[in-house]
A and B are shown apart, each in its own frame.
Chain A
Amino acid sequence: MTDPRSRPVLRESSYGPPPVIGRESTNLGDILERVLDRGIVIAGDIKVNLLEIELLTIKLRLVIASVDTAREIGIDWWERDPWLSGRDQELVDENRRLRERLSAVEERLLAWEERTELEPGEHPQERARDRQAEARDRRPGRPRGTEPGDA
């Protein structure tokens, strides 16, 4: 089946250049997509494959996910998949560190704004409280997809 001659019509189409630039049937993604997500689903005797394959298929779907979803959750190929690389704890830690740093930056920004933008006669404490409350409201929740449980 790897013989190009096995597809004479599409190869030798007389309608201009052949539509194919390169055969990609050995592309791992294409193969995984087919062997995991298509074909006949039968319960073998080894029952575990049902659950485990589901899980793997779900992981694969994340990778094969629509481009928008993939972009949204920042998914990457296997080596960067926390599930597969066991680096989820690392990500959680990094996420926590980043949030702490973000808070610190926000605090400093607020302090700086307070010094530079204070209107004459305005009470500094009141202004600062308002801004802090505002900043808390604005602060986004957990970014999606950065926690292992989200997907």
Chain B
Amino acid sequence: MRDDHPGQGVYLYAVTYGGTAGERGEVPAGVRGIMSGVMSGVMGGVMGGVMGGVVRPVPRGGLVAHVSDVPLDRFGEEPLRRSLEDLDWVEGVARAHHRVVEALAAAGPTAPVRLVTVYTGEDQVRDLLDLRHDDFMEILSHVAGRREWGVKAYLRRDTPPPSPAPSSPAPAATTAAGGDSPGMAYLRRKKESLRGREDLWRAAAERAELLHAELGRIAVASRRHRPQDPQLSGRSESMVLNGAYLVDPAREEEFAAVLDSCRGRFLDVELTGPWAPYSFTSIDLGAGRGGGVR
């Protein structure tokens, strides 16, 4: 066991089943696999975490916290404040965090924690596992054997414009300006095209609602997240659905069939995943520990 090193923090990625010798009988085989897999994984015999730290298990009471050491001169309070302003740095940490979580989730039920959750030592991590044992167990049993899929639906670019809505007479324009000035005509065209887009948007949004409801009936649990900005999604079309679904493997085919059937005139549908169950572990476990939790 490592003692607290001055200048080192313990970065927590996720919690899985695992355990002590007495509980090993309950541990899914895959988890034991990843335990060794993590330790002997991709990068020259060890799995690299954030900033190249070696990921190691911290077992306690049938649970395992997966951690690595991080330098506090980057992950201390003051340095973090600055570091989080640096997207390149955030990206590096986020990808490393995600890589570890994915590897764990590929092997067994995994409860990922939020980016940059840092402790002063392993003892504090063990305290957490003690204190929140039941919560973690509950989360893990909820996600066990299931996978998270992301579904994003976009307004189809090639959807034909709807027939123009009957425009109400524009009193100001007809009386005062003596017919359409080029400016008025421009504004009217603009308004009509805007109305057309709004209709399209509404139709697509309705279909997205239906799709979400239908996928939600197949999934064990579902969440709607905020639609992503085009800059983030990398697509110019407007996103009308950003959903996450926790699906039993037995129903994945059904899930795929619904996705196929919704490819209509209005929606472009994109599937991502399988993801670690990021969207279905969002229980706030902070309240028990000291120190401002939201």
Contact of A15 among B103, B111, B238, B260 (CB under 8 A): B260
Q: CB-CB < 8 A to B87: which residues of A?
A: 78, 84
Q: Is the CB of A38 within 8 A of B289?
A: no
**Nearest neighbor of A38 in chain B, beta-carbon distance:** B278
Q: Is A30 an interface residue (CB 8 A)?
A: yes
Chain B interface SS verdict (over half): mixed
**Cβ contact within 8 Å between B116 and A49:** yes
Residues of the B chain whose Cβ atoms lie less than 8 Å from the Cβ of A18: 256
B265, CB-defined interface residue at 8 Å: no
CA distance A19 to B271 in the complex (A): 7
Stretch at the interface among B22-30, B76-84, B179-187, B188-196: B76-84
B174 within 8 A of A: no
Q: Determine if B209 is an interface residue (Cβ-Cβ < 8 Å).
A: no
A88 to B111, CA, bound (A): 38
For A42, list chain B residues within 8 Å (CB).
12, 113-114, 117, 128, 132, 285-286, 289, 293
Asked whether, in the complex, the Cβ of B118 is within 8 Å of the Cβ of A45, the reply is yes
With the chains together, A50 CA to B80 CA distance in Å? 11
> Do the beta carbons of A35 and B257 come within 8 Å of each other?
no
Q: Answer whether A46 and B271 are a contact pair too, CB < 8 Å, given A13-B257, A38-B279, A64-B226.
A: no
Contact A13 B270 (CB under 8 A): no
Most buried by A among B98, B232, B263: B232
| Chain B residues with CB under 8 A of A9 | 249, 252-253, 256
Tell whether A7 pairs with B273 under 8 Å between CB atoms, given A35-B97, A61-B226, A67-B229. yes
Please measure, in the bound complex, the distance between the C-alpha atom of A63 and the C-alpha atom of B84, giving whole angstroms: 16
A13 with B253: CB separation less than 8 A = yes
Which of B54-62, B88-96, B160-168 is the interface stretch? B88-96
Partner of B91, one of A23, A28, A46, A61: A28
Tell me, yes or no, whether A92 is within 8 Å of chain B by CB.
no
A33 touches B285 (CB 8 A): no
- Chain B residue numbers with a CB within 8 Å of A105 are none
By Cβ-Cβ distance, the 5 closest A-B pairs, closest first, are A48-B77, A29-B232, A77-B231, A34-B278, A9-B252
Interface contacts beyond A1-B274, A9-B253, A45-B118: sample of 18 additional A-B pairs, CB < 8 Å, sorted by A: A9-B252, A20-B271, A24-B270, A29-B232, A29-B234, A30-B272, A32-B91, A33-B225, A38-B114, A42-B132, A42-B289, A43-B291, A44-B116, A48-B78, A50-B291, A50-B293, A50-B294, A67-B229
6 residue pairs of the A-B complex, CB under 8 angstroms, read A16-B260, A24-B272, A47-B292, A50-B291, A75-B229, A77-B229
